[in-house]
Amino acid sequence: MSNYTTVMGNLLSHLERSDFQKAVREHAGYKRVRTLSTFDVLKTLIYGQVTSAFSVREIESSMAVNSSKLYHCGMKPAKRSTLCDALEKRDHRIFESEFNVLAAKARQIAGNKGHRYKNPLKIIDASTIELCLGRFDWAKFRTTKGAVKLHLKLDGDTLYPEQVRLTTGAVHEVNEMSSLCHKSGEIYVMDRGYVDYKRLYDIELGKLFFVTRMKANCDYEIEQELFHSQTGACAGQSPLVTYTSSFEIKVPFLSKLRKGMIYVLETGPL
């Protein structure tokens, strides 16, 4: 009989049972458990992620259809009510602890990509996840829609999340920038949605570095143009920027910024 490993079996092989059981004991995840252990809950959630299930009902239906194959993964189908009860009773810190263990292991496997920057490179971004407003009335996003927003800080070498903040979908990402950009010496790369010159200046005062895209309506003056020593191409500009406060009063950005430009022969400047 030939040996083989299923996709689920391969994924579950990376879970350290001893570390997980330690977290279960610390947060009393064994209390009031009858049929579905905390480790079984974790495996069921991973199964739902792999199968792209959008609800507990979908997880239940998929596991019922593939019940004969779950045996090879050391799993068994879970009823919807049983899984919901288990999720309600289990402390979320158990799964948070397991995530931190797996994230540390993933960073070791990924290694360093060898960026030429001496300072750590971090990527700041946000992602909106739609929710049913009827079930999650606290997550009101629009009149008829609900959503939560994940604010992420990713490591530039491994692209693994270092920090995650969860808010309702109505919270603009710029409001979480100060919570994600706080470590001195790091370089933060972010998109145009994070452009708030007062907050960016506060970041600079903290001896942090940032790279972002300039808004089209940015009011600035070019103080100096820099050229490449060999090609003569313009390597960057040092603009003096002003930002608009909530009172629509233009205040000068109290530090010099460098504006860079990427020029593509086929399409022109980006």
Q: What is the pTM of this model?
A: 0.66
Neighbours of 255 (CB within 10 A): 11
Cα first-last separation, the chain = 58
Q: How far is C-alpha 155 from the chain's CA centre?
A: 10
Domain residue ranges in the chain: 7-110, 119-213, 217-270
- Which stretches within the chain are classed as H helix? 7-12, 17-26, 38-50, 56-65, 67-70, 80-89, 92-110, 177-180, 197-205
> Model confidence over 32-67: pLDDT tens digits?
777 888 888 999 999 998 888 888 999 999 989 988
pLDDT tens figures, 178-221: 889 988 889 999 998 888 888 888 888 888 888 888 877 777 77
Question: Is 158:110 a contact under the CB 8 Å cutoff?
Answer: yes
% of the chain with per-residue pLDDT over 70: 84
